Structure 1
């Protein structure tokens, strides 16, 4: 190869990318609503609106869609979260019957906790009655009620208040479980292509 041919090849190699990019046109709409053809590219303020890349014959070779609006982004994120939630549901349940069995187990567990707590509460009420009877015996006999007995009565009352709150909490959890399982039952039915009987 001659020196001239080598120089020509080197020059061609350097200029080829320029010719290739020069052959592309960018079509976009400016802020006045006018369609613009530009060899330099799309100005940054218009990229988000989307544009087209054309070859030297004027044919569209690539379309860059507009950037999503904030509402579209919110919808996409919501759909992504729903898909994640649905996938988790389908890992947990293979049928609507699975949801019903899980619901029955959870409600039985909460009913058991409520029953035990109410039983403990009844036991504390009996204990409080006995302690108050002892305090009344001291008062009838003209004696001062011992400080230890007063503390025991207060402790029993405090324990009762705590257990009453526990019963209310378990009942609230039971209501939440009912609502949650009802929604899961419907969604699993939809995902499996049927209805939640």
Structure 2
């Protein structure tokens, strides 16, 4: 009989302790009507974002949960974090604005090389096309039909030239974008290093 009593007594103590622990905290928040509310159950989900205070049984504030940042503030924080990351990356890449200038020169040389190769390929394709068109013209002058494979080859050469035109236009765009990007990097690095150079 003693054992069940001890068990019941222990269980009652545990329940009392948990009730007291739950009663030990009050939550203070402002509802949508502007009324300050004290609640033992916690803060309803719709008010958590506005921030609240946790009070002990004597009514003293033991913890303050600040309001969630607004969408604009959150965006500012994200922008600041992205800027800091970008600045750190810039400082890892370059030690001076002259490094940025050299990197731009290398990029321009690379793109100019690609443009030169593409233009050289275009010239080669034009020469091939002129030869094939000459053969086609000879067939027509001789009163023969132009062979299908010849027409197909000429069409393929035109398609390749169009593709090279697109490549060259893309490389030209890349040149402009690189100039703008490196100029921005140069200006930001100068700012980070303490003045323009």
SS at match of 1:31: coil
Matched, 1:82 2:91: no
Corresponding residue for 2:3? none
CA gap 1:36/1:149 in 2 versus in 1, 3 angstroms: closer
1:79-158 equivalence runs, <5 A: 79-140=80-141, 142-144=142-144, 146-147=146-147, 148-158=149-159
Tell me what 1:162 maps to. Answer: 163
Q: Residue 46 of structure 2 aligns with which residue?
A: 45
Give the corresponding residue for 2:175.
174
Structure 2 unaligned blocks of 5 or more: 1-5
Q: Secondary structure at the match of 1:49?
A: coil
Query: Unpaired segments of 5 or more residues in structure 1?
Result: 1-5
What number of residue pairs does the alignment pair up?
Answer: 189
**C-alpha distance after superposition, 1:104-148 (max 9, x if no partner):** 1111100011011112212222332333334334444x3325414
Are the equivalent residues in 2 in contact too, given 1:51–1:66 (CA < 8 A)? yes
2:184 corresponds to 1:183: yes
Distance 2:179 2:39 in 1: 62
Q: CA deviation at 1:20?
A: 5.7
TM-score scaled by length of structure 2: 0.74
Match of 1:60 in 2: 61
Give the alignment's TM-score, normalised by structure 1.
Answer: 0.74
For 1:28, the equivalent position in structure 2 comes to 29
User: Which 10-residue stretch deviates more, 13-22 or 39-48?
Assistant: 13-22
Range with bigger deviation, 92-101 or 161-170: 92-101
* 1:154 to partner: Cα distance: 2.8
* Root mean square deviation of aligned Cα: 3.2
Q: Conserved in 2, the CA contact under 8 Å of 1:186 and 1:195?
A: no
1:135/1:149 contact within 8 Å kept: yes
Structure 1 CA distance, aligned partners of 2:40 and 2:50?
Answer: 18
